C-alpha cells in the first residue's frame, strides 16, 4: 500500500493514520526543538507491527535455545521423542516424574534428585528422558549421559576435572544405567568424582539403574559403598516395576502364535 493511501493530513496539520485514526506525528512542546515543530510517533498499527516483530524474534530465539540445549543433552536423537505427551500418563511413576518437573523450582532449591530403580526394560530411561525434555522446554540446561560414555570421554583428557566440573554445571544431570559400567578401580574412581562433584555443586542428580535398591543399600565394597552413599543422600528412590515393556511385547507375539 502506498503511504498516501494510509495517511492523511488533519486540520491541525499533523499526519494521521487512515487505518487506526491515530496521529503519526506530534508537535514538540514549547514551539519546537531546534528548527523542527513536529516529530513522528507510532500509531496503533505501527505498535502492533513492532510487537509482532518482537514476538517473532523472541520465539525464534527461544526455539534456537531449546534446540541447541536439546542436542547438547542427548547422545541419541531418538531420546527427543521421550516426552510426557507420548507417554502413558496412567502409570504411577510417570505421574511422579511429571510432578517432579511441575515442582522443579522446589526440587532445585532443596537439591532433590531421583533414583529410578527396577528390572531391565521397564522404561526407566524413558521416564528420565521425559523429565529432561519437559525441563528443556522450560529453558533448563540438562545433560543425560551414562558412565560408559563419561569414562570413554574422560580417558584421553589431560584435564579430567574440567570435564567433571562441566557436568556439575548443568542445572540437571541424568546418569542413565548406573551399574553396567566396568568395575575397575579407575572407572569407580571416575564415577565417584563425578557423583561427588555433582552433589557438592548442590544441583539435582537423577540416576536410573537396574540394580536392586537392597543391593545399593547393602553394598560392602568400599569403592562402590562411597558412591552409593552419596547417591542415596541426594536421590529419592523410586521403584519402576510393572510389566516390562519387552515382556509385554514378547507376550503379544506369543499370543499371535496361539490358534484361535
Q: By CB under 5 A, tell whether 161 contacts Zn ion.
A: no
Binding residue (CB under 5 A) for Zn ion from 19, 72, 157, 250: 19
Residue reference for cell 514549547: 30
Tell me how far apart the alpha carbons of residues 163 and 175 are, in angstroms, rounded to a whole number.
Answer: 15
CB of residue 1 to Zn ion, shortest distance in Å: 12
Q: By CB under 5 A, tell whether 89 contacts Zn ion.
A: no
Q: By CB under 5 A, tell whether 7 contacts Zn ion.
A: no
Three-state secondary-structure class, residue 112:
coil
Q: By CB under 5 A, tell whether 14 contacts Zn ion.
A: no
CB of residue 23 to Zn ion, shortest distance in Å: 9
Nearer to Zn ion, 23 or 191 (CB): 23
- CA angle 207/213/219 to nearest 5° reads 100
Tell me how far apart the alpha carbons of residues 8 and 50 are, in angstroms, rounded to a whole number.
Answer: 22
**How many chain residues bind Zn ion (CB under 5 A)?**
5
CB of residue 33 to Zn ion, shortest distance in Å: 24
Q: By CB under 5 A, tell whether 20 contacts Zn ion.
A: yes
Site for Zn ion in 23-52 (CB under 5 A): 43, 45
Three-state secondary-structure class, residue 155:
coil
Nearer to Zn ion, 39 or 60 (CB): 39
Tell me how far apart the alpha carbons of residues 167 and 151 are, in angstroms, rounded to a whole number.
Answer: 13
Long-range contacts of residues 10-14, Cβ cutoff 8 Å, at least 24 apart: 13/38, 14/38
- Residues of this chain that interact with Zn ion (CB under 5 A) are 17, 19-20, 43, 45
Amino acid at each position: 500500500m502506498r503511504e498516501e493511501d494510509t495517511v492523511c493530513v488533519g486540520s491541525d496539520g499533523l499526519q494521521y493514520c487512515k487505518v487506526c485514526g491515530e496521529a503519526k506525528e506530534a508537535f514538540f512542546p514549547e514551539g519546537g526543538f531546534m528548527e523542527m515543530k513536529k516529530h513522528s510517533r507510532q500509531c496503533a498499527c505501527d505498535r502492533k507491527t513492532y510487537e509482532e516483530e518482537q514476538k517473532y524474534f523472541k520465539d525464534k530465539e527461544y526455539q534456537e535455545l531449546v534446540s541447541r540445549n536439546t542436542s547438547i543433552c542427548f547422545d541419541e536423537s531418538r531420546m527427543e521423542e521421550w516426552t510426557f505427551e507420548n507417554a502413558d500418563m496412567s502409570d504411577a511413576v510417570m505421574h511422579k516424574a511429571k510432578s517432579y518437573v511441575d515442582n522443579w523450582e522446589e526440587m532445585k532449591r532443596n537439591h532433590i534428585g531421583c533414583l529410578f530403580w527396577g528390572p531391565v526394560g521397564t522404561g526407566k530411561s524413558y521416564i528420565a528422558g521425559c523429565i529432561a525434555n519437559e525441563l528443556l522446554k522450560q529453558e533448563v540446561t540438562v545433560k543425560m549421559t551414562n558412565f560408559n560414555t563419561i569414562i570413554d570421554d574422560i580417558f584421553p583428557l589431560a584435564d579430567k576435572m574440567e570435564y567433571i566440573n562441566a557436568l556439575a554445571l548443568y542445572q540437571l544431570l541424568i546418569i542413565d544405567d548406573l551399574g553396567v559400567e566396568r568395575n575397575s578401580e579407575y572407572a569407580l574412581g571416575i564415577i565417584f568424582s563425578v557423583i561427588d562433584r555433582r552433589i557438592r555443586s548442590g544441583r539435582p542428580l537423577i540416576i536410573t539403574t537396574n540394580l536392586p535398591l537392597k543391593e545399593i543399600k547393602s553394598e560392602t565394597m568400599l569403592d562402590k559403598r562411597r558412591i552409593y552413599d552419596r547417591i542415596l543422600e541426594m536421590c529419592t528412590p523410586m521403584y519402576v516395576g510393572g510389566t516390562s515393556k519387552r515382556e509385554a511385547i514378547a507376550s503379544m507375539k506369543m499370543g499371535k502364535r496361539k490358534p484361535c
